[in-house]
Amino acid sequence: MGDKSRKNSTTQDVEANGTSDQQQQVEAVAKAVHGHPVSEHPTTYCETLMHLLKGNIGCGMLAMGDAFRNGGLLMAPILTVFIGTVCIYNNHILLNVAHKLKSRLKLEHCPTFSETVELSFATGPKSLQKHADLFRTTVNVFVIITQLGFCCVYILFVSNSIKQFCDEYGTVLDIHIHMIFALVPIMSCAMIRNLKFIAPLSTAANISMAIGLGIILSYCVVDLPALNSRTAVAHWSQIPLFFGTAIYAFEGISLVLPLQLEMKTPNRFASTMGVLNVGMTIVTFIILTMGFVGFWRFGDDVKGSLTLNLPPTLILSKIVVGLMVFAIICTYTLQFYVPVAILWPSVQEKYGPFQSPALAEYLLRAALVFATFLAAEVIPHLALFISLVGAIASTFLALIFPPICHMVVWKDEGFGAFNWKLHMDIITILLGLLGFVTGTYFSLHDIIVAFSKDFGFH
């Protein structure tokens, strides 16, 4: 699509809304859109489903037993289904808004997450237009920090798991040595440049995770106590802790646009029986099962990860740890794909053209892997800071930005009977704000407590 036709179409849309200043801004934004180019190695339905499952099945799922302790055996399943439904709805909203903007502005490529937010604000009310660039940058920063933050946590998880295994067999080394060992396979996997070739890793990781979860469940269902011995509805003050863990477990909105546009048949991603609905239904079922059975079996003694409730001398515990380490390394590769996809076009634009673009991208990937490695090495209580970043960044990405964009873009097209879509957007935003406030509060509280212990304060 040429610049002339894109400009004419953009002008027509803008004239319906406002001034020439808005017209010029939208034209400038539209021309600057990199978008998601057509993949040279498109993925199949099954490969994309494997990616979606891997992006949503990880450390958060192992913490759902503890989450159910903070929700109650009766209340937690209801809240889990509600939060899962809201997250799936927001994934669809983001996809719909991105494709609506592509069609309305005659863009050559579908906009990225941050470009979708920017274009929504640029074509919206005048009071929002001046903030369009700021919110694009904010979304990019939140996505990069969130994804790389998860990668840092994965390095710590892998390193500590390896150390636990080695210590039991008499090879006691400093955790930092184990982190160096963990860097080798992680760096190797991070060099895979497209989703088509990541697909086998996602499949293998999903198989490993499924076997590991199966072993955990097989242990949990032995000697189950009476259901009425567990709290049905937890105290209201514990609900924010449940909410934070559940949102973390469902986090994966940054992947939906790249996954859809990497498919051979993108229209099968968001259809009724498409990748998104099928995949997230599976994810919700697994989250419900792990949380319910974990809390039912261990009650108030359930740990932050169900793997910690397995007896360390049990041979199955060692098998589970090994499977989880492999799965998390593969998950690192998939989570790492998103920040690279955001940063690489900017690097090309600022420092390119490169004589060897592939080599330049490999160097960027290596630099980012080392950055996550150094962060995991240097920053104390990294997991607590990641929880804080997740409470701020992940909540805004998953629950606040998509409905705001939907309200702006759909304002002239209606929101369905009784404005139910508008009401859903408002409920989602309020839920996100609640998660932001409570998650931030409890994360800051834990950080203060941890550092007080480090420095001898009580």
pLDDT at residue 367 tops 80: yes
What is the distance between the alpha carbons of residues 87 and 68, in angstroms, rounded to a whole number?
19
Percent of the chain with pLDDT over 70: 88
| Res 16: pLDDT | 47
| Res 253: pLDDT | 82
Would you say 317 and 174 are in contact if contact means Cβ atoms under 8 Å apart?
no
| Res 1: pLDDT | 42
Segment 156-181 mean pLDDT: 81
Q: What is the 3-state secondary structure (H, E, C) of the chain?
A: CCHHHHHHHHHHHHHCCCCHHHHHHHHHHHHHCCCECCCCCCECHHHHHHHHHHHHCCHHHHCHHHHHHCCCCCHHHHHHHHHHHHHHHHHHHHHHHHHHHHHHHCCCCECCHHHHHHHHHHCCCHHHHCCHHHHHHHHHHHHHHHHHHHHHHHHHHHHHHHHHHHHHCCCCCCHHHHHHHHHHHHHHHHCCCCHHHHHHHHHHHHHHHHHHHHHHHHHHCCCCCCHHHCCCCCCHHHHHHHHHHHHHHHCCHHHHHHHHHCECCHHHCCCCCCHHHHHHHHHHHHHHHHHHHHHHHHHHHCCCCHHHHCCCCCHHHHHHHHHHHHHHHHHHHHHHHHHHHHHHHHHHHHHCCCCCHHHHHHHHHHHHHHHHHHHHHHCCCHHHHHHHHHHHHHHHHHHHHHHHHHHHHCCCCCCCHHHHHHHHHHHHHHHHHHHHHHHHHHHHHHHHHHHHHHCCCC
227 or 202: which carries more pLDDT confidence?
Answer: 227
Segment 91-114 mean pLDDT: 88
Share the mean pLDDT of the chain.
83
The pLDDT tens digits of the residues spanning 20-78 come to: 565 655 665 555 556 665 666 788 999 899 888 877 777 678 888 988 998 999 999 99
| Res 15: pLDDT | 44
What is the distance between the alpha carbons of residues 267 and 397, in angstroms, rounded to a whole number?
23
| Res 4: pLDDT | 43
pTM for the structure as a whole = 0.79
| Res 458: pLDDT | 55
| Res 359: pLDDT | 93
pLDDT at residue 341 tops 70: yes
The pLDDT tens digits of the residues spanning 396-449 come to: 888 899 999 999 998 877 788 888 889 999 999 998 898 888 878 877 887 788
Highest mean pLDDT (candidates 273-277, 334-338, 346-350): 273-277
Percent of the chain with pLDDT over 90: 25
| Res 6: pLDDT | 43
The pLDDT tens digits of the residues spanning 282-338 come to: 999 999 999 999 999 999 998 877 877 888 777 888 888 888 888 888 888 888 888
